[in-house]
Amino acid sequence: MTGTTSMPVAGVLPAEHAEHPPADLLVRNAKVFTGDPARPEARAVALRDGRVVGVGDDHDLAALVGPATEVVDALGRRVIPGLNDSHLHVIRGGLNYVLELRWDGVRSLRQALAMLREQAGRTPTGQWIRVVGGWTAEQFTERRMPTVAELNAAAPDTPVFVLHLYQSALMNRAAVRAAGFTRETPDPRGGQIVRGRDGQPNGVLLAAPSALVLYSTLAKAPALDDADKRTSTLHFLRELNRFGLTSAVDAAGGFQNFPDHYATVIDLARSGELSLRIAYHLFPQTAGQEIADLRRWTATVRPEDGDEWLRLNGAGENLVWAAADFENFSEPRPELAEGYEAEFEQAVRLLMENGWGFRLHATYDETIGRDLAVFEKLAAEGLFPDGNRWLFDHAETVSAHSLDRIAALGGAVSVQNRMSFQGSAFLDRYGPEAASHAPPVRAMLDRGLTVAAGTDATRVSSYNPWVALHWLVSGRTVGGTALRPAGELIDRETALGLYTRGGARLTGEQDVKGILREGFYGDLAILSHDFLTVPEAAIPSIESVLTVVGGRIVHASAEYEGLDEAVPPVSPAWSPVAHFGGYASTGARQALLMAGAVAESEDHRLWRATRGDTPPVPPPFVDPCFAH
């Protein structure tokens, strides 16, 4: 702590003879949702040495204010426990963040193409423009994807790769050349390089249904050097802090080798620079080598190795490649190979016998049912349930019968808001009845299962947790399509629990994380708008104005600007993040407005005419698509 009192402050005076050591940080004048059933509401929270030391009313905690206590007046805003994304590809995302032009939250295709055109002007020769992550055509007012012709017009000479979830990708001519695609390039297994009449690749890649063609092509683009990977990860973690995230469970993934791709977060943890708590998983990368990888890991590292900032949580989200299905709802459900169970059983047995938990990517009930049959076989030998934490991820079409079997075996489920972005495709393929409970969160909770929530960002959805929370309570896609009836929805307090206590249970940290109670981690967020009362349509616009992790202020905006820890400048200087930021907000829109890339509203025009200077940032923009 700085030893100076934060602004704005008021109303709490130091106690000359405090019975307890003073707090390092006190947040007062707040509407605190603690998540603690024993005391669900409070007005103030005190932190010392990274932990909560007091929860109560302002006058209750006055005795904890000393000369060096940093006092933050929440100005009546909502305070919540720090959010915990239970399925986020945070390690891989951090290594690439500053290279990516994010269309997350951008409201029109016209604006998105203007960003692309501007970025092409500053991207150096040899580098690619990568649009990666949580966007879909439904969020645009035009309700359509860009065309390859539009990419060519916006960036004639700079390679452009536009990833649309795990469904498809668009490439301009320069990117097709840079990737080395020609008439002779064969289609990879499970993917398609779309071609014109002349047989030449036309710039469209399709996952059919495997996304390998998409992310193997993306991997051809230049990577950052080690120093810039470090800076990139720091900025990505701060971007997550911006939305009130204080923890994440990293689900590993393709092209994330251990230990090579973990070196950056390990270095940041050793130097005390992480601003997000990370529990990570290990994911075998090479088909045919999975058992050897798992055997080597179980012999050299152990779950819970690390500390409260960075710790190993287990294996997955794939254990053997043959058991993995795909989440591309634009394609039919894939039929998995017959007989994968023998190899899968070997992997699960190895983990359980060595005290390892695991997580499993499983979109469809057909996959889940086959996996459960293996678990039930091992349960006859006493390996299930045994106290090792294990879970299914996604589970959009899991059946009631499978949920009963998961509960009997001591499993858990992590759900993500992939339906926010792919809900319309799912609806078209499987119909409204299936879409009404995809995934069946209410049925999971009714069975007493441990359920945690997340995003599956950064490629298949946005990392913005408030988009996910909006989906949990509204059942609507980012385009406003209502998928789930009222009986399938959950209330806002329950949704917050899935994003706080739920994630803590998946990592065995439920006794120190996920609620605001004495002795728990000092992780909290002061929100720009009250999630518990704000109109439903405005939930995706919520941000944190002050985020605290372990008693450290790691994000500060609005009245608290400048109270957070400094981070190095974005590098390289031509990075899209240096110019547009990450998730599109009013600030990003303002930058585009100043550049003439989007139309200026009448109130901004009048402000300029009368004041002659920069207008104020407008209130958070609410997409009219949500206002149904």
C-alpha to C-alpha distance for 405 and 385, rounded to whole angstroms: 11
365 and 333 Cβ atoms separated by less than 8 Å: no
User: Is residue 608 classed as helix, strand or coil in its secondary structure?
Assistant: helix
Q: By the 8 A CB rule, do 96 and 86 touch?
A: no
**Side-chain-facing half-sphere of 321: CA atoms under 13 Å:** 12
For 119, the domain range is 90-218
- The answer on pLDDT for 627 being more than 60 is no
Domain annotation covers residue 151: yes
**Per the domain annotation, does 365 fall within a domain?**
no
Q: How far is CA 478 from the centre of its chain?
A: 16
User: Is residue 575 in a domain?
Assistant: no
- What b/e readout covers 415-452, taking b as 16+ CB neighbours within 10 angstroms? bbbbbbbbbbbbbeeeeeeebbbbbbbbbbbebebbbb
pLDDT in tens, 133-174: 789 999 999 999 999 999 999 999 999 999 999 899 999 999
Any alpha helices (H) in 558-619, and if so which ranges?
Answer: 576-580, 586-594, 602-611
Residue 612 pLDDT: 37
Tens of pLDDT, residues 232-249: 999 999 999 999 999 999
* Coil vs helix vs strand at 246: strand
Mean pLDDT of the chain: 91
* Whole-number pLDDT of residue 255: 86
Q: Is residue 167 part of a domain?
A: yes
Q: Is the pLDDT of residue 5 over 80?
A: no
List pLDDT tens digits, range 444-457.
999 999 999 999 99
Mean pLDDT of 294-322: 97
Contact 31, 76 (CB under 8 A): yes
DSSP, collapsed to helix, strand or coil, labels residue 55 as: strand
Helix (H), strand (E) at residue 238: helix 226-241
CATH number of domain containing 109: 3.10.310
Task: Give the bridge partners for 358, in sequence order.
Answer: 315, 390
By the 8 A CB rule, do 165 and 132 touch? Answer: no
Work out the pLDDT band at 19, boundaries 50, 70, 90.
Answer: low
Any domain includes 498:
no
Average pLDDT over residues 90-107: 97
Alpha carbon 232 to chain centroid, angstroms:
16
Q: Give the percent of the chain with pLDDT over 90.
A: 87
Q: Is residue 314 part of a domain?
A: no
Interatomic CA distance for residues 2 and 199, integer angstroms: 64
- Look at residue 597 in the predicted model and tell me its pLDDT: 40
Please give the model's pTM, rounded to 2 decimal places: 0.91
Closest CA to 232 of 548, 568, 563: 568
In order of 6, 11, 73, 75, 482, the CA distances from 27 in angstroms are: 10, 12, 6, 10, 38
Number of domains in the chain: 1
